[in-house]
Structure 1
Amino acid sequence: MNKTLKWSGSILTVSALAVSLAACSSGNNGSKGNAEQQTSGTESAGSKETQPPKLSQLSYWVANHAAAAAQMKTYAEMGMYQEREKESGVKVEFQHPPLDPAQAKEQFNLMIVSSKLPDVIEYNWNDYLGGPEKAIQDNKIIKLNDLIDQYAPNLKKLLDEHPDWKKQITTDNGSIYAFPFLRGDDKVRVFFGPAIRQDWLDKLGLSKPETIDDWYNVLKAFKEKDPNGNGQADEIPLYLDKDLLNVDAPFLGAWGINNSFYQDNGTVKYGPIQPEFKSFLETMNKWYKEGLLDKDFAAPNAKLLDNKMTTNLLGATATYNGGGIGKYAGLMKDKDPDFKLVAAPYPVLKAGDTPIWGQKDFAFNGIGAAITTSDKNQIETVKWLDYAYGEQGELLFNYGIEGESYTMQDGKAVLKPELLTPSNGISSQQAIAKYNRATWSATFVLSDNFQLQYLALPQQKEALEIWSKPTVERKMPLVTPTQDESSKFASIMTDINTYKDEMLLKFIMGVEPIDQFDNYVKKIKSMGIDDAVQIQQAALERFSKR
């Protein structure tokens, strides 16, 4: 399952957003006013309140996904949305930015400054400059609290039953700003981690690595002992591009830190300036020099990764359970029956230690569908979105169409075998994507019953168990700076992130000697990292008080 560009603290910095910062706003009571305005607009003198105008069309901006894009032009062709249109009579015009994350962000920035927005925008609103509360104040999206209370009984019931979910989707000011994507159970919150070729380990008589030293020895063997058996020294021991280095610290976490902000017993710290970061860089530099780390790591390329994996060149990487282990098993099933990519534990420095860092989402990861101020029928849009959180919506959004993609057995939805083990050369994620978005994200509650079926292979079930072991105790929740803090934080971190990412590559590739690390730290401190840490600390304390 692909992870969606979700990390706390990422900030939009495109200058075009300055227009939105100056926009006037109805602020925190905007949604109530909108609700009252729509209701009063449907009444005539001396008559009782009538229903709002019937919703017939909806414009909806949302990022596309590779599994869907390979088969359809828009989500409007997806089974669940076609079924939803039949049920509701609402035709949805989906607007998708390019698949490339940078281009998608650029399109969002250009769109959000417009005076005419789509009715619904599904996005990680923590990436909006100033956070979701600022988007409300900028009069871009509406506050949903009153509308949910009055017109979204399914979501309201869930939030009443799960106050921790409500805390996560609420701003420090108490605003609910989007219909959220929620991972309902621990089983659906873990889906990413280190992976290694078990067939190569078996051929060389090696055990699965647990420590950083174990990994070094295994990668050396992959490079030198021809595990793909073609008589050539063409093996790539480890593909770990610069983006994967950032995602939940798959190797950096062995040193107890990450590549951004984290909290240690309630105290916020910045990983890239810690002494442990220097040790990590020394290790990665050694691996790079010895040819253990793929030479293309500085230029992330998903198609290149797929090619290296499916041409039997790659020994290990960090990947997803469905969109990685499951995908490659399907693609290699007929091509190489011996191929077996399996999960490896998040590495530690000392054998027997429990890993601190690993991938585990909170129930809410920041992605949600916000209703914009351009929507002329907000009440009915709320009702349309709320459907996904009810019993019928749960079935549609998790499993697709009964009889086509799933059947009911003993009161439970069961995905059809042809979706889990497709025989037409596509992955199970692509097969399921014809019917729904359950393998990445949408505005609904992801079911653990779906997840346990989607992880159909034994190695996928094992991956869930292995990758669930880290404590994840230092992960920052989805905090947001205040409006005043936001501009300062963005100004500081834009420059720091650019410099830090540049130096990360230089240190690993040996362009910059490691003995310059102290100067690198001094530079980041001179750029204001201590102020940024203080902003994150204040935001963490506010989050704790929500």
Structure 2
Amino acid sequence: MNKKHLAGACTAALALTLALSGCGSQQANTNTTITKTTADSYPLETDSDVTLKYWVALSGHVSALSQSLNDTPLAQDLIKKTGINVEFVHPASGQEKEQFNLMLASKDVPDIIEYDWKNYSGGPESAIEKGTIIDLNKVMEAGISPNLQKLYEEHPDYAKASQTETGKSYVYPFVIGDDILQTYMGPMVRQDLLEKYNLDLPETIEDWEHMLTVFKENGVKSPLTLRMDTTKFGDMSPFLGAMGVAGTFYVENGEVKFGPYTEEYRDFLTLMADWYSKGLLDPNFTDTDTKRLTSVIATGEAAAAFGSAGGDFGQWIPATQAQDPNARFVPVKYPAANKGETPKFGQKNWPNGSYGAAISGKSKNVELAARFLDYGYSEEGHMTYNFGQEGVSYTMQDGIPAYTDIITDDSKNGGMGIGPAMGQYIRACYNGPFVQDKNYLTQFYTMPEQLKAVEVWSDTDTLDYKMPNAPMTQEENKEYNDIMSDIDSYREEVMYKTITGKSSLDDLDTYYAEMKNRGIERAIELQQIAYDRYMEK
């Protein structure tokens, strides 16, 4: 690291004191001297030998070829370009939540913690109040995160989405920088079978049932495979959305609703139970194992599925064509209530929210941590996180960054495919503290079907109804989580038993009564309070 004073790299050597006021036993750093800086003063020139510790879950794109981010060219490039030493610390895969709690309880808390802070007990406001993380408004006011501050000034909605209910900023967020990046999941079917049996692309639930029935009658074992786990069954469930409700909380005409507490949800379960009994639905729909799902699709046991354009489509197409060279997949629109209508619900994310990198309340290196994280929102940082090293992982072609063969050529990228190759040089293929660039996606999707899928699946009215990232107070958050942890497990149990016939559809009256007894109406009320407060900002 360059052994010069930080002030030498600054246009304004104005010393400020950042008062990181907080309460609770975790608050260790209450006054940190920082220096006002400019957005382009990288690499930092400093006499500090400090190495920041950065806690973050290890993406599968990275772990396919490296044991840690520390082993990647990206990590070394970031250290060189920022002038700040960083050591990445990763929880064991599958144990992120447990190890997050253990990490916070330990004496060795990292300087930077990347996490989805809505999952913190009491929410991000509580995390600040307890001294777990710091209020970044004071960091920006002090001038040591000018790039993030500029981003927020240009996009006030970004700032609003990553603030607590009292207006405190708490993360350097991952921001989806273009509409094309907001949608990545949807339904797909075997186009060759549609043509073989003279079927049109399905638009409505009736179309889907007719198509699946024809597939079944012609030897397809389980025509439709779905993954109805907690993640996939949100507002991404294609058939519930066609009935006019989401699989989670949503907003209609200013009123917060919970899809699984509506009468339309009864219709959805009735439909799924009927399809299950007829053999149209994969009987293992709750099994989310990727290898099993790929096998079911590749062998032709299923002919329609719901998945991601990247990880799923990218595997299913070559795997299926290896079994049947004539097999072709086509993305189809989310089902609508009536032919010709725009689907009401689908999968589409807000640009940013509660996920991102926060600075620990125990850090003694707030300034360095802030400057390191702010780098991702600079012009150079944007290129580094999205494209890597110029001349190594990308070159400029007609003004557009194009990945080199070290990324795109399997004979040179480790033979694991484009995703793991990207994971060694960039973070655009998953997330991090930066704005994701659309030019990453147009190269990550190597098959024309994948880009077509995004175009087709994006045609919904989802964001007209999707709940914003409306934060709750600590008290609201605790009450809400206590209710929903019970509600979610109960809802999933009833859903599975009803679809598989282990419980009668006649028992659903008991389900609705039990949902009420367990507090779903209070949970809806808490979401309404948070939504109304958010919209008044």
- Equivalents in 2 of 1:506, 1:53: separation in Å? 63
Q: What is residue 332 of structure 2 aligned with on the other side?
A: 344
The change in CA–CA distance for 1:383 and 1:260 in structure 2 (over 3 A counts) is same
The yes-or-no answer on 1:37 pairing with 2:49 is no
The yes-or-no answer on 1:539 pairing with 2:527 is no
Q: What is residue 439 of structure 1 aligned with on the other side?
A: 429
- Equivalents in 2 of 1:80, 1:145: separation in Å? 29
Give the secondary structure class of the aligned counterpart of 2:193.
helix
- Equivalents in 1 of 2:502, 2:222: separation in Å? 24
The change in CA–CA distance for 1:319 and 1:489 in structure 2 (over 3 A counts) is same
**Structure 1: segments with no counterpart, 5+ residues:** 1-24, 41-49, 227-232
Cα drift, residue 481 of structure 1: 1.5
TM-score (norm 2): 0.87
The change in CA–CA distance for 1:426 and 1:142 in structure 2 (over 3 A counts) is same
Give the secondary structure class of the aligned counterpart of 2:496.
helix
Q: What is residue 475 of structure 1 aligned with on the other side?
A: 466
Decide which of 385, 397, 407 is 2:385's aligned counterpart: 397
Q: Given residue 228 of structure 2, which amino acid in structure 1 is its aligned partner?
A: D
The yes-or-no answer on 1:415 pairing with 2:403 is yes
CA contact (8 A) 1:325 1:342 kept: no
The change in CA–CA distance for 1:521 and 1:334 in structure 2 (over 3 A counts) is closer
What does the per-residue CA deviation read over 1:7-33, in whole Å, with 9 as the maximum and x for residues that have no partner?
xxxxxxxxxxxxxxxxxx943999x99
Q: Once structures 1 and 2 are overlaid, which stretch shifts more, 174-183 or 247-256?
A: 247-256
Q: Given residue 75 of structure 1, which amino acid in structure 2 is its aligned partner?
A: L
Q: What is residue 210 of structure 1 aligned with on the other side?
A: 203
The change in CA–CA distance for 1:211 and 1:533 in structure 2 (over 3 A counts) is same
CA contact (8 A) 1:397 1:437 kept: yes
Give the secondary structure class of the aligned counterpart of 1:314.
coil
The change in CA–CA distance for 1:366 and 1:336 in structure 2 (over 3 A counts) is farther
The yes-or-no answer on 1:305 pairing with 2:293 is yes
CA contact (8 A) 1:261 1:271 kept: yes
Q: What is residue 258 of structure 2 aligned with on the other side?
A: 270
Instruction: State percent identity of aligned pairs.
Output: 37
Q: What is residue 185 of structure 1 aligned with on the other side?
A: 178
Give the secondary structure class of the aligned counterpart of 2:188.
strand
The yes-or-no answer on 1:94 pairing with 2:82 is no
TM-score (norm 1): 0.86
Q: What is residue 493 of structure 1 aligned with on the other side?
A: 484
CA contact (8 A) 2:376 2:434 kept: yes
Decide which of 280, 284, 290 is 1:292's aligned counterpart: 280
CA contact (8 A) 2:224 2:303 kept: yes
Cα drift, residue 370 of structure 1: 0.5
Q: Given residue 517 of structure 2, which amino acid in structure 1 is its aligned partner?
A: S
Q: Given residue 208 of structure 2, which amino acid in structure 1 is its aligned partner?
A: W
- Equivalents in 2 of 1:234, 1:257: separation in Å? 30
Cα drift, residue 262 of structure 1: 1.1
The yes-or-no answer on 1:107 pairing with 2:99 is yes
Q: What is residue 316 of structure 1 aligned with on the other side?
A: 304
Q: What is residue 520 of structure 1 aligned with on the other side?
A: 511
Q: Once structures 1 and 2 are overlaid, which stretch shifts more, 466-475 or 489-498?
A: 489-498
Q: Given residue 73 of structure 1, which amino acid in structure 2 is its aligned partner?
A: Q
**Aligned runs of 1:24-173 on 2, under 5 Å?**
26-27=21-22, 36-39=31-34, 54=48, 56-100=50-94, 103-149=95-141, 150-173=143-166
Q: Once structures 1 and 2 are overlaid, which stretch shifts more, 438-447 or 69-78?
A: 69-78
- Equivalents in 1 of 2:158, 2:21: separation in Å? 26
Decide which of 446, 449, 455 is 2:439's aligned counterpart: 449
What does the per-residue CA deviation read over 1:1-56, in whole Å, with 9 as the maximum and x for residues that have no partner?
xxxxxxxxxxxxxxxxxxxxxxxx943999x995843349xxxxxxxxx9976264
Q: Once structures 1 and 2 are overlaid, which stretch shifts more, 337-346 or 373-382?
A: 337-346
Cα drift, residue 495 of structure 1: 1.4
Cα drift, residue 126 of structure 1: 0.9
Give the secondary structure class of the aligned counterpart of 1:242.
coil
Q: Given residue 136 of structure 2, which amino acid in structure 1 is its aligned partner?
A: L
- Aligned pairs, how many? 504
What does the per-residue CA deviation read over 1:39-87, in whole Å, with 9 as the maximum and x for residues that have no partner?
49xxxxxxxxx99762641211112222222221112223322211233
CA contact (8 A) 2:244 2:337 kept: no
Cα drift, residue 97 of structure 1: 2.4
Give the secondary structure class of the aligned counterpart of 2:233.
helix
- Equivalents in 2 of 1:309, 1:99: separation in Å? 27
The yes-or-no answer on 1:427 pairing with 2:417 is yes
- Equivalents in 2 of 1:269, 1:88: separation in Å? 46
The change in CA–CA distance for 1:452 and 1:157 in structure 2 (over 3 A counts) is same
- Equivalents in 2 of 1:111, 1:38: separation in Å? 26
The change in CA–CA distance for 1:278 and 1:311 in structure 2 (over 3 A counts) is same
- Equivalents in 2 of 1:66, 1:330: separation in Å? 20
Q: Once structures 1 and 2 are overlaid, which stretch shifts more, 349-358 or 84-93?
A: 84-93
- Equivalents in 2 of 1:282, 1:269: separation in Å? 21
The change in CA–CA distance for 1:428 and 1:236 in structure 2 (over 3 A counts) is farther
Give the secondary structure class of the aligned counterpart of 1:323.
coil
Give the secondary structure class of the aligned counterpart of 1:116.
coil
What does the per-residue CA deviation read over 1:458-498, in whole Å, with 9 as the maximum and x for residues that have no partner?
21221121111111111100112211212221221121112
Q: Once structures 1 and 2 are overlaid, which stretch shifts more, 309-318 or 330-339?
A: 330-339
Q: What is residue 368 of structure 2 aligned with on the other side?
A: 380
Cα drift, residue 134 of structure 1: 0.8
Cα drift, residue 235 of structure 1: 5.0
- Equivalents in 1 of 2:163, 2:505: separation in Å? 43
Root mean square deviation, CA, Å? 2.6
- Equivalents in 2 of 1:204, 1:238: separation in Å? 20
The yes-or-no answer on 1:242 pairing with 2:229 is yes
What does the per-residue CA deviation read over 1:409-451, in whole Å, with 9 as the maximum and x for residues that have no partner?
2332112356346467633222322222212211100012222
The yes-or-no answer on 1:461 pairing with 2:454 is no
CA contact (8 A) 1:399 1:413 kept: yes
Q: What is residue 223 of structure 1 aligned with on the other side?
A: 216
CA contact (8 A) 2:221 2:302 kept: no
- Equivalents in 2 of 1:333, 1:434: separation in Å? 29
Q: What is residue 47 of structure 1 aligned with on the other side?
A: none
Give the secondary structure class of the aligned counterpart of 2:52.
strand
- Equivalents in 2 of 1:175, 1:427: separation in Å? 41
The yes-or-no answer on 1:356 pairing with 2:344 is yes
Cα drift, residue 194 of structure 1: 1.3
The change in CA–CA distance for 1:508 and 1:528 in structure 2 (over 3 A counts) is same
Cα drift, residue 512 of structure 1: 0.9
Q: Given residue 432 of structure 1, which amino acid in structure 2 is its aligned partner?
A: M
Q: Given residue 245 of structure 1, which amino acid in structure 2 is its aligned partner?
A: F
Q: Once structures 1 and 2 are overlaid, which stretch shifts more, 286-295 or 334-343?
A: 334-343
What does the per-residue CA deviation read over 1:108-133, in whole Å, with 9 as the maximum and x for residues that have no partner?
23323334322111111111122111
Q: What is residue 39 of structure 2 aligned with on the other side?
A: none
Q: Once structures 1 and 2 are overlaid, which stretch shifts more, 76-85 or 269-278?
A: 76-85
The change in CA–CA distance for 1:529 and 1:88 in structure 2 (over 3 A counts) is same
Q: Given residue 494 of structure 1, which amino acid in structure 2 is its aligned partner?
A: S
Give the secondary structure class of the aligned counterpart of 2:335.
coil
**Structure 2: segments with no counterpart, 5+ residues:** 1-19, 36-43
- Equivalents in 1 of 2:371, 2:421: separation in Å? 29
